[in-house]
């Protein structure tokens, strides 16, 4: 009898050992801001597919609102507890790379992965691939077709310049006191893009040793932008009174709006016809290239698993199709097949403009003290809008402040 | 306060105390009622506005002139809210943390206050000054060090992280110390004669007499835990422990979407209600609580 | 205090029993973070890399930092506008609330309502009330034919709007503190004076106010300590991207910006310690001054 008991115990203990041996799962933590609150299920779909292909890896998701995300991420790094894989937008990438918090992904980068070259470049630091591009988005000219019809105007075309846009805006503005012509605010992101459209204005010189934001070309660009408000084509913040530019567009009272393609979903409920076009040019075209990347922490204990997840999220067909189908930003992959479904949805009818815009991309100027630069520039731009400073004076001041920030 | 005159009381006209009540402003009855109404209206109307907005449908929020009574009246913001964030769980988390934290804070503050108010020991005033000094530092700078500490203790995403650090409040100790100081020593002296020790005095005499101040501290403490945002943001990231203010903050979409103000207001209504209940419960003791913490320097 | 168990070791046992739990917790969760922040004030730390010692560098930078001085100016402006208003209004409200009229309990309860709501909720509501196009205030002004300003968009008017909102939110609390003091005043003083035939204004001036000075002192100190650290209204109320948003800052909003937006933990810590020094100095000054104007019954 004791022998039977002994064998039973042995058998039972084996039962404990075997699963333990099979349980070689690594758990990696993934921190993201773009998934919450609307795309958690989509992320789950991608994770399930990944875990099926990689049964020994388990992905745990943490989310935060964008406003808090970077504070939390930094606190995590500071306390030695950074997530294994995390999302980074382009503007913050440089800071993280410069502080040695990212794992070099150059060796795991699959040369066949169909990333847009520009997107790959965006996430390189000192020649090394420190993160993979996961998604991109851009900014286009949205217009209210009904208002254009009402004003008897032709719709914006791909060869429009800002002069054409201003003329159209004036006609639309004349339709009524609460109908506005266009909306393109005077702030940091719009300014560097218009600077690129001007072609001769750039915030910094080539080797980033000096700020060149007060060059004559920049001053004239700024004056054009401020002109939108001064010529009464665009409402001031007080005239908007807390209504956002998107809400104004949705209410049918705005002729043209410069905003991002992420608004396609929200604008579906518009009660009027609308469409998009590439942004007008000054001397040339330039469009925002916003990219979110996925990076691996330099201090991760599961480098292989983390890198595998990062690559899957950025480059796999599953991830790409899930994103496109749910309108959750666009994968930074040069595979037209993925985008067929996207292109055939309407409104807007002219979705092809998204990819045309990609032919003239511009990324923001990025320095380590990024937020301070943005705040400083925005503060000075506001003063120009309010008439407290001339464009020249403001940009001279900006140069002084920016020079201090890069040294 | 010397009165040198001798007054002949038989010559005085009958004085109506209310008419010469010195601690009040003497006004005619109607004006008084009117003023009461104005004060109530001023204090309450903004909250009525909040409630009204929460019951409106999305498209009726921005109207001129401002619309007081929602038409149509709808609960869609509340149902939408419940869907968007896990309302049940977050509400429970906030409530649990606030209730346990409040009780803990009261006990610990009371005990510390007793040590300052009723025990005599060397260094007492210096240590008390130390407590006061901690109230002069902006709490925001403590958040990151506290976060690192809590993480080192292994308390990330636990109720402990949300409750424990807040238990040690200099404000609570200060408030209760003042209250205890105002209690006359006679009760204690009688008890001492009967052979009571400090704990008995504390538990059976001081605490019951200080009930109003305890209620006051309870309300402030509950408010502190309930509304806390910055610190919980760092330590409570998983849905199991996330609290209400953090969940509600996700409603205020960034520049990439449209904020649904009726839902934001609905969230605000839900946030204010429990504190209101706590306050109404403590109301009975409230004003007398402020009295006993009555400031004797 | 009497009795044998109060001597020597016994006494310290009691002190330990009552004080230690709170003191240990305070040391760990409050004092230690405060000391950390003091140490951080002499470092340069962006959270991503280890801290770097910079000695007095942060403080030197503060001296020349225009944003800091502007924040200090706005903080002082708020205090100069807000404190006298709420100090006097709180007293008036307390005197009013102190009457035994049916229904006064409702008025007392409702005046405390703004105090219990969080600033997040209060700022949301009042942002709407101050909205230039859709808000109640400009609508009411419009009825009188007055064009209301763009309250929370312009720096100057934003300050007024924030002061009004702060007064609304806090006056109930201040009134409560005064009420406590009022009800502490012994009835016998009034009776004696009434017998002398004093009218109620005399009573107010010669009895109530002097005996209320300890409470007033507490209120003054509390207000100053709290409002030098004011934060939420300035962080939440100005309309996004407006001139008010860019220009109106107080010291603690600068601290938060530097700590969490610019990742300059060391600099932010240095700033908070300068603020602390300021608050401490003013509090000590108030304590010295109290001998001149505060009347303590026990003296």
Q: Which residue carries 């100005």 as its tokens?
A: C238
Cα–Cα distance between A313 and A133 in angstroms, integer?
10
The CATH number for C40-293, chosen from 3.10.310.10, 3.20.20.70, 1.10.3720.10, 3.30.465.10, is 1.10.3720.10
Cα–Cα distance between B206 and B172 in angstroms, integer?
16
CB contact under 8 A, C116 and B296: no
Confidence class of residue B25 from pLDDT cuts 50, 70 and 90? low
**For residues B78-103, average pLDDT:** 88
Cβ–Cβ contact B129 with C under 8 A: no
CA dihedral for C215, C216, C217, C221, sign (positive or negative) = positive
The answer for B 190-219 residues in CB contact with C (under 8 A) is 192, 197-199, 202, 219
DSSP string covering chain C? --SGGGSHHHHHHHHHHHHHHHHHHHIIIIIHHHHHHHHHTTEE--SSS--EE-TTHHHHHHHT-HHHHHHHHHHHHHHHHHHHHHHHHHHHHHHHHTS--TTHHHHHHHHHHHHHS-HHHHHHHHHHHT-TTT-HHHHHHHHTT-----TTTSHHHHHHHHHHHHHHHHHHHHHHHHHHHHHHS-HHHHHHHHHTT--HHHHIIIIIHHHHHHHHHHHHHHHHHHHHT--HHHHHSSPTTSHHHHH---HHHHHHIIIIIS--HHHHHHHHHHHHHHHHHHHHHHHHHHHHH---TT-
The reported pLDDT for the residue numbered C158 is 93
Cα–Cα distance between B56 and B58 in angstroms, integer?
6
Arithmetic mean of pLDDT over chain A: 86
The reported pLDDT for the residue numbered C59 is 94
Chains with 3 or more CB pairs under 8 A to chain A:
B, C
Q: Least CA distance to B280: which residue of chain C?
A: C109
Count of CB contacts below 8 A, B vs C? 284
State chain B's maximal CA–CA distance in angstroms: 82
Q: Least CA distance to B230: which residue of chain A?
A: A68
Cα–Cα distance between A335 and A343 in angstroms, integer?
13
Cα–Cα distance between C50 and C177 in angstroms, integer?
46
CB contact under 8 A, C262 and A78: no
Cβ–Cβ contact C293 with B under 8 A: no
Cβ–Cβ contact A9 with C under 8 A: no
Check if the beta carbon of residue C294 is closer than 8 Å to that of residue C213.
yes
Check if the beta carbon of residue A197 is closer than 8 Å to that of residue A278.
no
Cβ–Cβ contact B262 with C under 8 A: no
Which of A186, A226, A218 shows the shortest CA–CA distance to A201? A218
Q: Domain residue spans in chain C?
A: 40-293
Distances (CA, A) of A325 to A135, A294, A318, B142: 14, 20, 11, 44
Q: Domain residue spans in chain A?
A: 26-137+290-334, 139-288+359-405
**For residues A49-75, average pLDDT:** 87
Residue A11 pLDDT > 70? no
Higher-pLDDT residue of B22, B156: B156
Q: List CB contacts (< 8 A) between C48 and chain A.
A: 74, 77-78, 95-96, 99, 101
Q: ipTM more than 0.90?
A: no
The reported pLDDT for the residue numbered B62 is 65
Higher-pLDDT residue of B202, B12: B202
B231-274 pLDDT, tens digit each: 888 888 777 888 888 888 777 655 455 667 788 888 888 888 88
Q: List CB contacts (< 8 A) between B164 and chain C.
A: 25, 29
Of C133, C241, C243, the CB nearest to A241: C133
Q: For chain B, which domains are there?
A: 80-292 (1.10.3720.10)
Residue A405 pLDDT > 50? yes
Q: Is A194 helix (H, G, I), strand (E, B) or coil?
A: helix
- As a CATH number, domain A26-137+290-334 is 3.40.190.10
Of A71, A375, A386, the CB nearest to C260: A71
Which of A385, B73, A40, B231 shows the shortest CA–CA distance to C247? A385
Residue A100 pLDDT > 70? yes
CB contact under 8 A, A75 and B84: no
Q: List CB contacts (< 8 A) between B265 and chain A.
A: none
Higher-pLDDT residue of A22, B181: B181
Cβ–Cβ contact B152 with A under 8 A: yes
Cα–Cα distance between B253 and A37 in angstroms, integer?
10
As given in the structure block, the two tokens for residue B48 are 């009525």
Cα–Cα distance between B94 and B83 in angstroms, integer?
18
The reported pLDDT for the residue numbered B1 is 35
C15-29 pLDDT, tens digit each: 888 999 999 999 999
A24-48 pLDDT, tens digit each: 788 999 999 888 767 888 899 999 9
Count of CB contacts below 8 A, A vs B? 45
Cβ–Cβ contact B62 with A under 8 A: yes
Of C29, C184, C256, the CB nearest to B291: C184
The reported pLDDT for the residue numbered C71 is 95
The answer for B 150-179 residues in CB contact with C (under 8 A) is 164-165, 167-168, 170, 173
Q: Is A114 helix (H, G, I), strand (E, B) or coil?
A: coil
Cα–Cα distance between A297 and A78 in angstroms, integer?
12
Cα–Cα distance between C299 and C288 in angstroms, integer?
16
The reported pLDDT for the residue numbered B97 is 94
B84-96 pLDDT, tens digit each: 777 888 899 999 9
Of B20, B50, B64, the CB nearest to C134: B64
**For residues A69-75, average pLDDT:** 87
Per-residue exposure over A64-86, b if at least 16 CB sit within 10 Å of its own CB, e if not = bbbebbbbbbbbbbbbebbbbbb
Residue B284 pLDDT > 70? no
Check if the beta carbon of residue C144 is closer than 8 Å to that of residue C137.
no
Beta strand pairing call for A26-32 and A57-63:
parallel
Residue C146: how many other CB atoms lie within 10 Å: 10
Which of B182, B215, B205 shows the shortest CA–CA distance to B291? B182
As given in the structure block, the two tokens for residue B52 are 């009204």
The reported pLDDT for the residue numbered C296 is 63
Query: In sequence order, what are the beta bridge partners of A85?
Result: A30, A296
Check if the beta carbon of residue C34 is closer than 8 Å to that of residue C276.
no
Q: Is A254 helix (H, G, I), strand (E, B) or coil?
A: strand
The answer for B 73-112 residues in CB contact with A (under 8 A) is 84-85
Check if the beta carbon of residue C123 is closer than 8 Å to that of residue C133.
no
Check if the beta carbon of residue A29 is closer than 8 Å to that of residue A62.
yes
Q: Which residue carries 């500490």 as its tokens?
A: B149
Cβ–Cβ contact C3 with B under 8 A: yes
Cβ–Cβ contact B259 with A under 8 A: yes
Higher-pLDDT residue of A187, A265: A187
DSSP string covering chain B? --------GGGSPPP-TTTT-TTS----HHHHHHHHHHHHHHHHHHHHHHHHHHTS-GGGSS-SSPPSS-SS---HHHHHHHHHTTHHHHHHHHHHHHHHHHHHHHHHHHHHHHHHHT---TTHHHHHHHHHHHTTS-GGGGHHHHHHHHHHTT-TTSHHHHHGGGG--HHHHHHHHHHHHTS-THHHHHHHHTT--HHHIIIIIIHHHTHHHHHHHHHHHHHHHHH--HHHHHH--STTT--HHHHHHTTS--TTS---HHHHHHHHHHHHHHHHHHHHHHHHHHHHHHHHT----
The reported pLDDT for the residue numbered C163 is 95
CB contact under 8 A, C193 and B197: no
CB contact under 8 A, A79 and B152: yes
Which of A283, A293, A257 shows the shortest CA–CA distance to A360? A283
Distance from CA of A100 to the nearest CA of C (A): 8
Task: Tell me which DSSP letter residue A334 carries.
Answer: -
Which of A83, C119, C287, C219 shows the shortest CA–CA distance to B227? C119
Those residues of chain C that have pLDDT short of 50 are: 1-5, 298-299
Confidence class of residue B290 from pLDDT cuts 50, 70 and 90? very low
Higher-pLDDT residue of A165, B65: A165
Q: Least CA distance to B212: which residue of chain C?
A: C180
Cα–Cα distance between A71 and A80 in angstroms, integer?
14
Residue A276 pLDDT > 90? yes
Cα–Cα distance between C165 and C159 in angstroms, integer?
10
Cβ–Cβ contact B131 with C under 8 A: yes
- As a CATH number, domain A139-288+359-405 is 3.40.190.10
Higher-pLDDT residue of B60, C68: C68
Which of B209, B215, B205, B182 shows the shortest CA–CA distance to B287? B215
Arithmetic mean of pLDDT over chain B: 78
CB contact under 8 A, C296 and B280: no
Looking at chain C, how many residues does it have?
299
Cα–Cα distance between C94 and B95 in angstroms, integer?
32
Check if the beta carbon of residue A281 is closer than 8 Å to that of residue A160.
yes
Beta strand pairing call for C43-44 and A361-362:
unpaired
Strand residue runs (E) in A43-145: 57-63, 85-89, 124-125, 128-129, 132-137, 139-144
CB contact under 8 A, C107 and B36: yes
Interface test with B, best of A67, A69, A75 (most B CBs within 10 A): A75
CB contact under 8 A, C121 and B271: yes
CA A5 centroid distance within chain: 65
Task: Tell me which DSSP letter residue A232 carries.
Answer: T
């Amino acid at each position: 009898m004791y022998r039977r008991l002994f064998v039973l115990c042995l058998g039972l203990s084996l039962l404990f050992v075997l699963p333990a041996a099979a349980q070689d799962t690594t758990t990696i933590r993934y921190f993201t801001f773009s998934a919450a609150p609307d795309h958690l299920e989509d992320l789950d779909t991608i994770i399930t597919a990944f875990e099926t292909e990689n049964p020994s890896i388990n992905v745990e998701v943490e989310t935060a609102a964008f406003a808090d995300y970077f504070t939390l991420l930094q606190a995590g790094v500071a306390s030695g507890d950074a997530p294994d894989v995390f999302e980074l937008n382009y503007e913050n990438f440089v800071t993280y790379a410069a502080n040695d918090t990212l794992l070099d992904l150059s060796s795991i980068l699959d040369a066949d992965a169909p990333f847009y070259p520009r997107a790959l470049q965006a996430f390189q630091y000192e020649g090394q691939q420190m993160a993979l591009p996961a998604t991109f988005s851009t900014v286009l000219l949205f217009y209210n077709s009904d208002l254009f019809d009402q004003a008897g105007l032709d719709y914006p075309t791909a060869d429009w310049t800002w002069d054409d846009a201003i003329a159209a805006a004036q006609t639309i503005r004349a339709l009524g006191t609460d109908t506005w012509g266009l909306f393109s605010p005077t702030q940091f992101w719009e300014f560097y893009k218009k600077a690129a459209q001007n072609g001769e204005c750039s915030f910094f010189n080539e080797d980033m040793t000096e700020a060149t934001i007060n060059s004559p070309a920049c001053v004239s660009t700024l004056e054009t932008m401020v002109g939108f408000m001064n010529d009464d084509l665009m409402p001031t913040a007080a005239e908007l009174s807390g209504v956002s530019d998107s809400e104004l567009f949705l209410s049918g009272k705005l002729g043209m709006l410069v905003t991002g393609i992420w608004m396609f979903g929200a604008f579906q409920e518009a009660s009027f016809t609308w469409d998009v076009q590439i942004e007008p040019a000054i001397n040339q075209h330039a469009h925002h290239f916003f990219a979110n990347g996925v990076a691996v922490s330099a201090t991760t204990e599961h480098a292989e698993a983390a890198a595998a997840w990062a690559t899957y999220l950025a480059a796999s067909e599953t991830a790409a199709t899930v994103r496109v189908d749910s309108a959750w930003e666009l994968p930074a992959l040069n595979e037209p097949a993925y985008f067929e479904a996207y292109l055939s949805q309407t409104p807007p009818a002219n979705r092809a403009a998204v990819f045309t815009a990609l032919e003239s991309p511009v990324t923001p100027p990025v320095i380590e003290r990024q937020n301070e630069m943005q705040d400083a520039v925005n503060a000075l731009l506001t003063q120009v809008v309010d008439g407290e400073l001339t464009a020249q004076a403001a940009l001279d001041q900006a140069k002084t402040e920016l020079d201090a920030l890069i040294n | 306060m010397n009165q040198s005159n001798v007054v002949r009381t038989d010559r005085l006209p009958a004085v109506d105390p209310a008419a010469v009540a010195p601690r009040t402003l003497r006004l005619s009855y109607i004006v008084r009622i009117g003023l009461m109404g104005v004060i109530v209206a001023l204090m309450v109307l903004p909250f009525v506005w909040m409630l009204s907005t929460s019951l409106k449908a999305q498209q009726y929020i921005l109207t001129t002139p401002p619309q007081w009574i929602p038409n149509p009246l709808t609960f869609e913001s509340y149902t939408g809210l419940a869907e968007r964030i896990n309302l049940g769980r977050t509400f429970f988390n906030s409530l649990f943390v606030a209730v346990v934290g409040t009780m803990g804070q009261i006990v610990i503050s009371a005990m510390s206050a007793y040590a300052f108010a009723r025990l005599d020991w060397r260094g007492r005033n210096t240590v008390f000054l130390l407590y006061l000094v901690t109230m002069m530092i902006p709490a925001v700078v403590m958040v990151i060090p506290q976060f690192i500490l809590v993480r080192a203790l292994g308390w990330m995403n636990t109720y402990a992280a949300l409750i424990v650090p807040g238990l040690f409040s200099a404000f609570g100790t200060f408030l209760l110390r003042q209250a205890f100081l105002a209690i006359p020593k006679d009760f204690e002296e009688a008890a001492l004669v009967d052979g009571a020790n400090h704990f008995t005095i504390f538990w059976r005499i001081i605490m019951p007499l200080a009930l109003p101040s305890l209620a006051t501290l309870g309300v402030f403490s509950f408010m502190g835990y309930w509304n806390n945002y910055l610190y919980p943001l760092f330590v409570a990231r998983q849905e199991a422990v996330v609290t209400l203010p953090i969940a509600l903050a996700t409603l205020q979409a960034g520049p990439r979407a449209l904020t649904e103000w009726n839902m934001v207001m609905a969230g605000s209504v839900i946030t204010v209600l429990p504190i209101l209940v706590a306050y109404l419960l403590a109301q009975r003791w409230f004003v007398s609580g402020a009295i006993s913490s009555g400031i004797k320097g | 205090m009497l009795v044998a168990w109060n001597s020597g070791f016994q006494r310290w046992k009691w002190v330990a029993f009552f004080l230690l739990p709170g003191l240990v917790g305070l040391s760990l969760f409050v004092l230690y973070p405060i000391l950390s922040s003091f140490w951080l004030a002499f470092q340069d730390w962006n959270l991503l890399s280890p801290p770097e010692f910079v000695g007095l560098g942060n403080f030197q930078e503060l001296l020349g930092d225009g944003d800091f001085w502007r924040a200090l100016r706005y903080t002082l402006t708020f205090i100069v506008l807000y404190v006298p208003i709420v100090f006097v209004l709180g007293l008036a409200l307390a005197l009013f609330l102190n009457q035994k009229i049916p229904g006064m309990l409702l008025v007392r309860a409702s005046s405390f309502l703004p105090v219990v709501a969080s600033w997040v909720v209060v700022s949301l509501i009042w942002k709407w009330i101050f909205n230039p196009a859709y808000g109640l205030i400009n609508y009411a002004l419009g009825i009188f034919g007055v064009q209301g300003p763009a309250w929370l968009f312009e720096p100057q008017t934003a300050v007024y709007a924030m002061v009004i909102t702060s007064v609304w939110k806090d006056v109930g609390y201040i009134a409560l503190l005064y009420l406590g003091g009022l009800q502490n005043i012994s009835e016998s003083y009034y009776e004696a004076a009434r017998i002398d035939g004093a009218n109620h204004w005399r009573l107010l001036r010669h009895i109530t106010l002097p005996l209320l000075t300890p409470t007033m002192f507490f209120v003054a100190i509390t207000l100053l300590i709290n409002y030098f650290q004011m934060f939420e209204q300035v962080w939440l109320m100005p309309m996004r991207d407006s001139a008010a948003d860019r220009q109106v800052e107080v010291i603690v909003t600068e601290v938060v910006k530097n700590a969490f937006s610019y990742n300059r933990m060391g600099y932010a810590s240095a700033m908070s310690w300068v603020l602390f020094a300021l608050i401490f100095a003013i509090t000590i000054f108030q304590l010295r001054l109290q001998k001149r104007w505060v009347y303590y019954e026990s003296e």
